[in-house]
A and B are shown apart, each in its own frame.
Chain A
Amino acid sequence: MEELKRQLKQQIIEAINLEDMTPEDIEDAAPLFGEGLGLDSIDALELIMIMDKNYGIKFADKNESKAALQSIDTMAAYIKEHRTK
């Protein structure tokens, strides 16, 4: 699980260009959107693409993706349960 989280953080940093950040800078439980890391709707689309490309996960609807993409913790948990690759 820890390895998955670290890998996920690295993929997020690359996908949304958080150049100056390292995986250690992102807290597992902190919200990714709004007050936390400060990501927005375009970033959400990039995260959905990470889930699809790297883990073979396609969300059924917006509510489902919203719930899964709250934090590194929720993303990792969702991946663990739903990954197809």
Chain B
Amino acid sequence: MRSMHFKREKLARMAPDSSALHLTNDAPRPAAGRGRILDVHGLRVGFGGPAIVDGVDLAMEPGELLCLVGESGSGKSLTALSVMRLLPPGARLTADRFAFDGQDLASASEEAMNRLRGDRIAMVFQEPMTSLNPVMSVGDQMTEILEAHRGLGRKEAREVALAMLRRVKIPDPEARLDAYPHQLSGGMRQRVMIAMALICRPALLIADEPTTALDVTIQSQILHLLDELRAELGAAVLFITHNLALVAEIADRIAVMYAGRIVESGSRADLFADPQHPYTLSLLAALPREEDVGRPLTAIDGQPPAAGQMPTGCRFAPRCPFAVEKCRAAYPPLAELAPGHAVACWRAPLERNVA
């Protein structure tokens, strides 16, 4: 504990950037360096054996909301944790390019990462109860961040924390500042998590299934809030989810992941009006819709491949009704069919290639 405090003090001295802490200043913080806030190319993460995340490309503009959609085991959470460099012990990360705001994350020291985390890159997890400290008041957890990253005094930090709680629309914020996590409802806890994540005005917020544990009426409030705050604070959001319907509500751009790779990426309109990859199509077909009542859903046969048993060619080929020899022989590259709309499928566009 003592060494942690020491570290925090040191960090506070090292990062005295107080210009960005005043939440009254509503102008979005300009992203240093033009263009992409996140630029990932050929990201690979594995645990000694075959790579679990196997060649992922992600590019994000400042302020944009990118949804990374995938089923459990697709590697989406591992991708998110890679950006935070919070991988489990034993994980090996390699990448051709892995830059946040022009800074190489793959080679960044642990100290440099500590400066970034919670400050310029922040994260919200699915279950706030496991990421909030149960024996620390909400206020203390929030001010701790400001003390560490901004070197603020307690009183000043408390005021900023209070302003942030107001901003995430927590009723009676003064009282909540002294509340403990267990005294809050699930929705309120997630609001606290968001307040903590945004308190240093990060340029990138990673939200890993932030509403999955919540009821739909609470989920819709949290999504609304996230959208409002990202516009206000100018943060880019990497939103990880398995819920395809949800993606339609919030995404600027979408990347669909399957078995460790991105199979299709594009704007929301691209993915929902012009879906190309058979996996994307299959997911859309599997969603129960009003017009499907009374007939079977179009299910995807089989299951995703296990990590140790990846097919050599396209990983979706064993479950794909359009698969041909070529698909089983070689993995298709993620290629642009139209500007901004990329798909990793030998047979796309299907209407031309499937007779």
Partners in one complex: no
